[in-house]
Amino acid sequence: AALRNRSSSSSSHLLRRCYSSESAPERKVAILGAAGGIGQPLALLMKLNPLVSKLSLYDIAGTPGVAADVSHINTRSEVAGFMGEDQLGQALEGSDIVIIPAGVPRKPGMTRDDLFNINAGIVKSLCTAIAKYCPNALVNMISNPVNSTVPIAAEVFKKAGTYDEKKLFGVTTLDVVRAKTFYAGKAKVPVSEVNVPVVGGHAGITILPLFSQATPKSNLADDEIAALTKRTQDGGTEVVEAKAGKGSATLSMAYAGAVFADACLKGLNGVPDVVECSFVQSNVTELTFFASKVRLGKNGVEEVLGLGPLSDYEKQGLESLKPELKASIEKGIKFASAN
Ligand code: NAI
């Protein structure tokens, strides 16, 4: 028994050595829009992540307070706040991952596309700075409309000569988070065990949860699947209406953003088989950008995974989302080339 104990404790010690935060490589994460509704709780969650060694918080206003506050938490990362455009370069320099929740959120009655005019300009200027100061960073785009802001980012990087399709991600994790929560509730299965891929894009009907592939399996009826699909697609609007003019999802989005950034960090650190859904440059359909399962690795996207078998309902959903998603992608590209 003594021997057994010794060997198991030494192997767990080894495991600790391999995976503990002390041996995790240095990683700098920058959050642009860090003083906002999403930015603040996201800064908190990234401060709790032991894979982060430097946390850089940038906004046009309010970051000194957020940074001072978060910096007192006794976890690994060093926190620094940066405010205003003349500090943007310093905020970005040396970043491994840049997370962008900068921009305006929806109010009741607005679609994500209604945000286009303001957010497109913000994303364009932030991406121009990324190309200059940290061209090799992975970019996690949260600012809406994601279906257009990701193509805008791609065009900005192409113009700057720094575009690497493996390093640009539209964050659609909140759609996955919602699909998992709603499915678990309906199918009465433990939520922590649930997996549901969500593909397509990140707005209304372009959000296509694939409940036919959900695990653990369940025998939900067609009308229940249709209701779950609609609730996942309208999840953002559910929150916008409940907040009644005070913005859109911030806390659940911060959680989702932290989950996705953590997956990116694990991929960079060489952890095998890290798979998350994300809106990326894609050959899965005829559309140039598309959300699907993506394997993350040391260079960002290791492999864009296919759709897998779809139900007839999902096949129909896929065909109906294509025109809207295509138009949103083109709108982004057009904006980037005209401005
Ligand atoms: P918010 O208004 O609370 O915060 C936005 C922050 O961005 C503010 O602190 C503002 O000062 C900052 N900002 C504005 N211009 C900037 C610039 N040029 N550089 C740096 N920071 C700048 O908004 P919230 O609720 O945090 O939402 C942010 C964005 O995230 C919105 O576009 C929203 O639609 C999007 N969103 C995306 C989701 C997704 O699933 N991908 C889910 C929920 C929201």
From the candidates 27, 202, 231, 293, give the one annotated as an active-site residue: 202
| Strand partners for 186 | none
Q: How far apart are CA 15 and CA 312, in angstroms?
A: 45
Please check if 291 is assigned to a binding site: no
Digit-by-digit pLDDT tens for the chain (339 residues) are: 344 444 444 444 444 444 555 579 999 999 999 999 999 999 999 999 999 999 999 999 999 999 999 999 999 999 999 999 999 999 999 999 999 999 999 889 999 999 999 999 999 999 999 999 999 999 999 999 999 999 999 999 999 999 999 999 999 999 999 999 999 999 999 999 999 999 999 999 999 999 999 999 999 999 999 999 999 999 999 999 999 999 999 999 999 999 999 999 999 999 999 999 999 999 999 999 999 999 999 999 999 999 999 999 999 999 999 999 999 999 999 999 998
Question: Pocket around ligand 1: residues whose beta carbon is below 6 Å from it?
Answer: 32-33, 35-39, 59-61, 101-106, 115, 119, 122, 126, 142-144, 146, 171, 174, 202, 247-250, 253
What is the distance in A from the centroid of ligand 1 to the CA of 30? 14
- CB-CB contact of 74 with 50 (8 Å): no
What is the distance in A from the centroid of ligand 1 to the CA of 163? 23
Q: What pLDDT is stored for residue 23 in this prediction?
A: 77
Q: How far apart are CA 174 and CA 189, in angstroms?
A: 20
In angstroms, the first-to-last Cα distance of the chain is 71
Q: What pLDDT is stored for residue 339 in this prediction?
A: 81
Please check if 112 is assigned to a binding site: yes
Q: What pLDDT is stored for residue 9 in this prediction?
A: 42
202 is known as an active-site residue: yes
Is the full-model pTM beyond 0.90? Answer: yes
